Amino acid sequence: MEFEPVIGLEVHAQLLTEAKIFCGCSTKFGAEPNSHTCPVCLGMPGVLPVLNKKVVDFLIKMALATNCTINKKSSFARKNYFYPDLPKGYQISQYAEPPAEHGWVDIEVNGDKKRIGITRIHMEEDAGKLIHDEHGLASYVDLNRTGVPLLEIVGEPDIRSPEEAAAYLRRLHEILIYLEICDGNMEEGSFRCDANISLRPVGERNFGIRTELKNMNSFRNVQRALEYEIKRQRYILEAGGEVVQETRLWDDAAGVTQPMRSKEEAHDYRYFPEPDLVSVIIDDAWIEEIRRGMPELPLAKRERFVREYQIPAYDAGVLTASRALADYFEEVARLSGQPKAAANWVMGDILRFLNEEKKGIEACPVSPTNLAAMIRLVENQTISGKIAKEVSETMYRTGKTPEEIISEKGLVQITDAGVLTDVLVKILRENGEKVAQYKAGKEKLFGFFVGQAMKATGGKANPQLLNELLKKMLANQE
Amino acid sequence: MELYQLTIHEIKDKLDAGDTTAAEIVNSVFERIDVVEKDVKAYITLMRDSAMAEASRADEALKKGRGGMLTGIPVALKDILCTKGVLTTCGSRMLSNFVPPYDATVVEKLKEAGAVLTGKTNMDEFAMGSSTETSFYGVTRNPWNLERIPGGSSGGSAAAVAADECIAAIGSDTGGSIRQPAALCGVVGMKPTYGRVSRFGLIAFASSLDQIGPFTKDVEDCAIMMNVISGYDRRDSTSSPEEVPDYRRFLGTGIEGLTIGIPKEYFVGGLDPEVEKAVRRAIKTIEGAGARCIEVSLPHTEYCLPVYYIVAPAEASSNLARYDGVRYGFRFREGRDLMDMYKKTRSAGFGDEVKRRIMIGTYALSSGYYDAYYKKASQVRALIKRDFDEAFRTCDALLTPTTPTPAFCIGEKTDDPLQMYLSDLFTISANLAGIPGISVPCGYSASGLPIGLQFLAAHFQEGRLIQIASEYEKQAAVLDANLDPQRRRPNL
Ligand SMILES: [Zn+2]
């Protein structure tokens, strides 16, 4: 029997607000344990949560970017369970009345376009972290992360393959980063994904029994875990067995999913309306204010780049991978007046240098002004394309302007026909034998003469002029 | 007359006239405490040293003409309010070592107004109880009869005011915890509208019902205390931005032409005949002052108690989850593992009544039961609220007994929680509807126990309550000298 997978993803995105969702503590990552805490996020007696309005701003942004309906009124609820990283014994989340629903994003897998539904997006607080003593004698709790705002983005079970799952995740990831509301770091847990997956016979309308997969901290792991789980469930179903509804953890090292101990998942969260907070009212004016400040989203930007700069769709995709990269490219294109050359230089040398050092475009030592200046120097033949490679690398290492580098290293292109003629005359005279062979039909030797001339000029000869002069002189040779 | 016997407004007059000093007042109150506290046991923690220091600061301020609304006035706090640097137990072993690093907003406001804090008063554990008997710190006794309970859960604050162990006190009221002990101890107690007073720093019992309010010796003092503690607080999202009037403005303005509703459902079986007699006499007094009393109906009254005993425990089961022994408070140290530590900490840290309510609340919120209990209760709560909205369309206020009976004996109902719960029969509705209520003394039983009269008004109509209660207090004292605020005090 043929089976098809049915996959729905839940994404938790940690928001880049300065302050936590219900108190004024900093959300900065990596501080001394428990230094970013106060009575509110420590869950001390008698304290009350106060909603950080910035979190609602971010929620509205994400809702608009994913085509959600924004509900005028939403409310918070308590999700009750005991764990030492949860100081109040409950997490403040949203349950019965979510602020955003019925959205979608478009994805593309192997050239096929598909729309994936978004069930809901809501706000909630993150929990803290447990640090286990290496000797197993004690556990310590760090509550810096407690109360850091999260968006939970619940997707519809519209996904039919691990590739689609990865494409959907990349799309959400890219939107969050474009909106500058999440740093998207999966390893540090600021972008987390859980998956629900079941199989059903092709043509069947009802869903099969699903498992929930957790602990996948990269796009690749999400894809691998889903691939494994499809195989596992298919094996069970083909043998006439039944999939157990359970939560399974992805074990990266072993490359398998393992059931979570049932004790850990047997939770009745006893959701009920949070009495310490009032309803969140999002009026049209608020939505409009956020809409006005919305950046151009990746898909729209991609289409515009193809149209406006006449660059291939693939290049537009690479250049819009992040908002900062796209901005960098656009700045270089504008300053140099040569979008295609700008695209080639950014995608070629600049990204290669950055990738070698695992740096983002924000950390690029070559300013758009300098790169554009260099492109213009190539255009007006001050330097050759080959010399430009050397200049760009030096700009990257030193941060100097191309003019500085060229004058320091004496790299200005030789475009004086007289100077080049003198060089060629000398080369042809010294290689009489080869000239004769060339004349006899061994035309490949043309490249040898060019190479000799470049060597003699330290690569600074203008190639077109050199070629022209050489052709003319060889033709005139007796 | 002793200084400790005075009201806030009398002390203010004396201080302004230079007839006494804050130090003398505070000394007098602590001398009184030294004499009667061993019998009454109103306090868990006394703040004698800081009170003396605050008194001299108050005298400095007064000398410079910079007195606030409560400068030099000794005020006691229910031990449910967080006090920076001062033990705050909430009547529980669970918080037997908890010293908050912050003040409740109300405590800040009292300090800003110049009040001298005398100490933290006894209460039912986590405010769960109607007699102050569930406290981990022993039983508080009713100053009118030491064999009897003072009411609860704010029994310590009520008893402290009645026994002159402070001039005024702060309590909290989730189902009657201010009005019921005020009635049983013969003092004035007000539960303001939900949202009128900030709950920041009030240790939560049932967040949608909890409200802070004052205990005072007379209605004028109640108005003064309300002026100090009311108002919006950005740290409490449920506090109201509604403007706070000067409540003293409503004192002695008369009640001629007002319509007072008498809900018939509050005069049925279970109401003690002596209480009914005193309340009926109060109705006559009110009518004598020119108000019109009419019978009204609050048809969903019979559901108040069941709704309350679902909503309050449900919220409490969640609010009390934070007491796990991990970060502060009591911890059972010999736990085998995490789960064992949780269980043993909570088993040993909480008393029976608290555990009972956590279990009821957990059950009411459990999957499969939520719709039948919590959700249904919330729906009925809306109907109860609507009953009041209806009634306030024709009435300026409602008049009821505060409690079905006068103070009962210590130990009388501890083994019968349902009987205990019935003592809040008439006060719970105001919490469910979020409306303000006040209890004022209206008589005595044959055995000399105080009886309380409750007025209820629409949201944010505390001024109306002060208007009616102050007029009633004046007229009642004319008709019965034993109801004169200066004469209604126990023989201790
Ligand atoms: Zn905090």
H or E segment at A74? strand A73-74
State the distance from the centre of ligand 1 to the C-alpha of B199, rounded, in angstroms. 18
pLDDT of residue A260: 85
Query: pLDDT band at A266, cuts 50/70/90?
Result: low
Same domain (yes/no): A268, A228? yes
Q: What is the pLDDT of residues B261-276, one digit of tens each?
A: 999 999 987 899 999 9
State how far the Cα of B120 lies from the Cα of A87, in Å rounded to an integer: 26
Collect all residues from B whose CB is shorter than 8 A from any CB in A. Answer: 80-82, 88, 90, 95, 98, 100-102, 104, 199-204, 206-208, 234-238, 314-315, 317-318, 320-322, 324, 326-328, 338, 342, 362, 365-367, 370, 374
Domain finish residue from B326, B348, B379: B379
Residue at B316 is within a domain: yes
Contact, A245 vs A181, CB < 8 A? no
Query: Which residues does chain A have within 8 Å of residue B330's beta carbon, measured at their own beta carbons?
Result: none
CB contact under 8 A, A48 and B101: no
Same domain? A191 vs A59: yes
| Residue A160 belongs to some domain of the structure | yes
What CATH number does residue B168 fall under? Answer: 3.90.1300.10
**Final residue of a domain: which of A357, A381, A409?**
A409
Overall number of domains in chain A: 3
A15 and A66 belong to one structural domain: yes
Lowest-pLDDT range, A464-473, B189-198, B282-291, B469-478? A464-473
Let me know if residue B358 belongs to a domain: yes
Global pTM value: 0.90
**Which residues does chain A have within 8 Å of residue B324's beta carbon, measured at their own beta carbons?**
82, 84, 89
Indicate the residue among B232, B252, B272 that finishes a domain.
B252
Q: Which residues of A touch B (CB under 8 A)?
A: 39, 42-51, 78, 80, 82, 84, 87-90, 139, 141, 268, 270-272, 275-278
Give chain B's mean pLDDT: 96
Residues B247 and B307 in one domain: no
Residue B315's domain comprises 302-379
Using CB atoms, pick whichever of B100, B320, B366 lies closest to residue A44: B100
**Based on the domain organization, do A264 and A400 belong to the same domain?**
no
Other C-beta atoms within 10 Å of B168: how many?
28
Identify which of A426, A405, A424 has the alpha carbon closest to the alpha carbon of residue A416.
Answer: A424
Among A42, A78, A278, the residue with its CB nearest the CB of B237 is A278
B246 and B315 in a single domain? The answer is no
- Of A117-126, A379-388, B144-153, which range is least confident? A379-388
Task: Judge whether A291 lies within some domain.
Answer: no
Contact status, residue B69 vs residue B248, Cβ threshold 8 Å = no
Kindly state whether residue B112 falls inside one of the protein's structural domains: yes
How much is the CA Rg of chain A, to the nearest whole Å?
30
Cα B228 to averaged position of ligand 1 atoms, centre (Å): 28
Q: How far is the CA of A37 from the centre of ligand 1 (A)?
A: 4
* Residue B50 designated active-site: no
Determine what percent of chain B is predicted with pLDDT higher than 70: 100
Q: Percent of chain A scored above 90 by pLDDT?
A: 71
Residues A251 and A128 in one domain: yes
Contact (CB<8Å) B362/A270: yes
| Beta carbons of B237 and A90 less than 8 Å apart | no
Q: Choose the final residue of a domain: B379, B412, B432.
A: B379
Same domain, A271 and A305: no
Same domain, A463 and A373: no
Q: Is residue B177 part of a domain?
A: yes
Chain centroid to Cα B149, Å, comes to 15
Domain-terminating residue out of A258, A286, A314: A286
Distance A40 CA to ligand 1 centre (A): 5
The answer on A424 and A405 residing in a single domain is no
Taking residues A295-309, what's their average pLDDT? Answer: 93
The verdict on residue B107 lying in a domain is yes
Residue B419 is assigned to a structural domain of this protein: no
Decide if B327 and A87 are in contact by the 8 Å CB cutoff.
yes
- Cα–Cα distance list, B33 to A102, B5, B72 (Å): 65, 12, 17
Helix, strand, coil percentages in chain B from 3-state DSSP, rounded to 5: 45, 15, 40
- Other beta carbons within 10 Å of A104: 15
- Domain shared by B165 and B307, yes or no: no
Helix (H, G, I), strand (E, B) or coil at B230: strand
Task: Let me know whether A18 and A70 are in one domain.
Answer: yes
Distance from the alpha carbon of residue A85 to the mean position of ligand 1, in angstroms: 14
Catalytic residue among B92, B135, B153, B439: B153
B244 and B335 co-located in one domain:
no
Q: How far is A269 from chain B (nearest CA, A)?
A: 8
Identified catalytic residue from B12, B78, B109, B111: B78
A98 CA distance to ligand 1 middle (Å): 24
One domain for residues A330 and A458: no
Nearest residue to B326 (alpha-carbon basis) of B318, B338, B336: B338
Q: What is the pLDDT of residues B5-60, one digit of tens each?
A: 999 999 999 999 999 999 999 999 999 999 999 999 999 999 999 999 999 999 99
Asked if pLDDT for residue A264 goes beyond 60, the answer is no
Q: Pull the structure tokens for residue A54.
A: 């910035």
Q: Is residue B276 part of a domain?
A: no
Rounded to whole angstroms, how far apart are CA atoms A120 and A66?
10
Tally of domains in chain B: 2
- Decide if pLDDT at A33 tops 60: yes
- B85 & B207 share domain: yes
Q: State the pLDDT at residue A455.
A: 86
A304 with A430, same domain: the answer is: no
Phi-psi bin for B345: left (phi > 0), alpha (psi -120 to 50), beta?
alpha
Contact A272 B314 (CB under 8 A): yes
Interface ipTM > 0.90? yes
- Asked if the model's pLDDT at residue A265 lies above 60, the reply is no
Percent of chain B with pLDDT over 90: 93
| Interchain pair A45, B237: CB under 8 A | no
Question: Which of B82, B322, B370 is nearest residue A87 as measured by Cβ atoms?
Answer: B322
Which single residue is written with the structure tokens 């409740």?
B104
pLDDT at A477: 73
B153 as an active site residue: the answer is: yes
Cα A21 to ligand 1 centre (Å): 9
* Residue B137 shares a structural domain with residue B10: yes
Looking at the structure, tell me whether residues B338 and B242 fall in a common domain.
no
Asked if B177 is an active-site residue, the reply is yes
Residue in B closest to A280 by C-alpha: B237
Contact B328 A44 (CB under 8 A): yes
Is residue A345 within 8 Å of A392, Cβ to Cβ?
yes
Residue A105 domain flag: yes
Instruction: Determine which one of B92, B135, B154, B177 is catalytic.
Output: B177
| Candidate from A47, A82, A89 with C-beta closest to B200 | A47
Average pLDDT over residues A225-251: 95
Listed range (A181-185, B313-317, B488-492) with the worst mean pLDDT: B488-492
Answer yes or no: do B16 and B151 share one domain.
yes
State whether B238 and A277 contact (CB < 8 Å). Answer: yes
Asked whether residue B103 carries a pLDDT value surpassing 80, the answer given is: yes
The domain of A159 spans: 3-286
CB contact under 8 A, A46 and B204: yes
State whether B241 and B352 are in the same domain.
Answer: no
Please tell me whether residues B233 and B357 are part of one structural domain.
Answer: no
Of A409, A438, A465, the residue that ends a domain is: A409
Mean pLDDT value across residues A259-270:
74
Instruction: Please check whether residues A137 and A163 belong to one and the same domain.
Output: yes
Residues B201, A47: C-beta atoms closer than 8 Å: yes
* CB nearest to A275's CB, from B88, B315, B326: B315
What mean pLDDT comes out for the span B311-335? 94
C-alpha of residue A82 to centroid of ligand 1, in Å: 20
pLDDT score of A262: 59
**Do residue B121 and residue B53 come from a single domain?**
yes
| Same-domain check for residues B222 and B100 | yes
Cis peptide before B153 (omega within 30 of 0): yes
pLDDT of residue B432: 98
Assess whether pLDDT exceeds 90 at residue A406. Answer: no
b (16+ CB within 10 A) / e for A317-352? ebbbbbbbbbebbbbbbebbebbebbbebbbebbbe
| A422 domain-assigned | yes
- pLDDT, tens digit, 9 for 90 and up, residues B356-370: 999 999 999 998 999
Q: Which residue of A has its CA nearest to B98?
A: A45
Q: Please check whether residue A463 lies inside any domain of the structure.
A: yes
B134 found inside a domain: yes
- Whether residue B318 and residue A90 make contact (CB cut-off 8 A), yes or no, is yes
Distances (CA, A) of A155 to A7, A12, A73, A105, A363: 9, 11, 21, 10, 34
